[in-house]
Each structure stands twice: as structure tokens, then as C-alpha cells.
Amino acid sequence: MQCLKLSNEEVLKMKTNDVILKSLSIIISGCIFLLSLSLYFGGHFLPGGGFVGGLLCTMALALAMFTYGVDKVNKLLPINYVYVAALGLLFSVGTAFSGIIAGKNFFKHHFTHIHVPLMGEMELHTAAIFDLGVYLIVVGVLMSVILAFGKDGK
């Protein structure tokens, strides 16, 4: 038997058939993103929250970038992830100071009940805003790190 040996140039010229990967990547990324939102929204009452939701959202974005390439995903979603992290920090710090603004203690939790059409009575609380800040910080920082390492010397 003869062993097949390919040079680096021949390997780079080979066309890959990644139709299955690209097809499944869309479905899996969407499911992971929906799970991240579910964990975020249930985080105050159930296990989960902003940190785990942010990790899963980053994983969905990274899967799309690994499958389709960074340039294609950045063209589709032109997001500066440093600004996303800064916005998350603003939400989190703003939630901490909302107690002082309301005349209560620092980081005091506030909530109210609102009526949402088609969904009924819901609680609106500052913990959800804080979790949103954590979610955005995690996505912003991790995606910035992934893109910094993935620039490939450019």
C-alpha cells in the first residue's frame, strides 16, 4: 500500500464540502442563542442569569464565525463589542446607583408590577437590568477577545 502524502500547498488548494456543517450551524447557533435568552429571562427566579446567558450567546456567535468566517459574520452583524461591554457596564453600575437615586441604600433592589398586553401581569425589577448588564459585558468582552485572537496577524 502506498501512503498518500500531500504538500501544504495541495492541502490548501483542496475544496472542502462543508454543506452539512453550514446547514447545522445555522440551526444550532439559533438554538443556542434562544437558550441564552431563556436563561437570561429566567435567571432571577431560576438557575441561569446574565453570565451564563452571555456565555451561550458568545458561543452562538463564535460558532457562526468559525463556520462562515469572521468577515462574513461581521458584515452581517457590524457590532463593536467594546461598546457592547461598555453599555453593559453602564447598565450594571446604573442599577447599583438606582437605589441612591431613589433615596434608599446602594444596590437596593426595586420592583413593580406592570400589565403587558397578551402576557398579563409581570414583574419589572432592577435585577433584570443588572443581569442584562452582565449579559452584555460577558458578550462584549469575550467577543473582543475572540476577535483579537482571530485576527491572524492583520
pLDDT digits (tens, 9 = 90+) for 84-108: 999 999 998 988 888 777 777 777 7
- Cβ-proximal residues to 80 (8 Å cutoff; 6+ apart), any chain: none
More confident residue, 105 or 10: 105
Quote the pLDDT of residue 69.
Answer: 85
Q: Is 117 helix (H, G, I), strand (E, B) or coil?
A: coil
Name the residue among 45, 41, 69 with its Cα closest to residue 57: 41
pTM here? 0.79
More confident residue, 8 or 129: 129
Residue 109 cell numbers, joined:
433592589
Residue 62 and residue 36 in contact, taking contact as beta carbons nearer than 8 Å: no
Q: How far is CA 100 from CA 18, 103, 152, in A?
A: 55, 5, 46
- Cβ-proximal residues to 110 (8 Å cutoff; 6+ apart), any chain: 98, 99, 102, 104, 125, 126
Quote the pLDDT of residue 10.
Answer: 62
Burial of 38 (0-12, 13-18, 19+ CB in 10 A): middle
Q: How high does pLDDT run on average in the chain? A: 83
Q: State yes or no: pLDDT of 23 exceeds 80.
A: yes
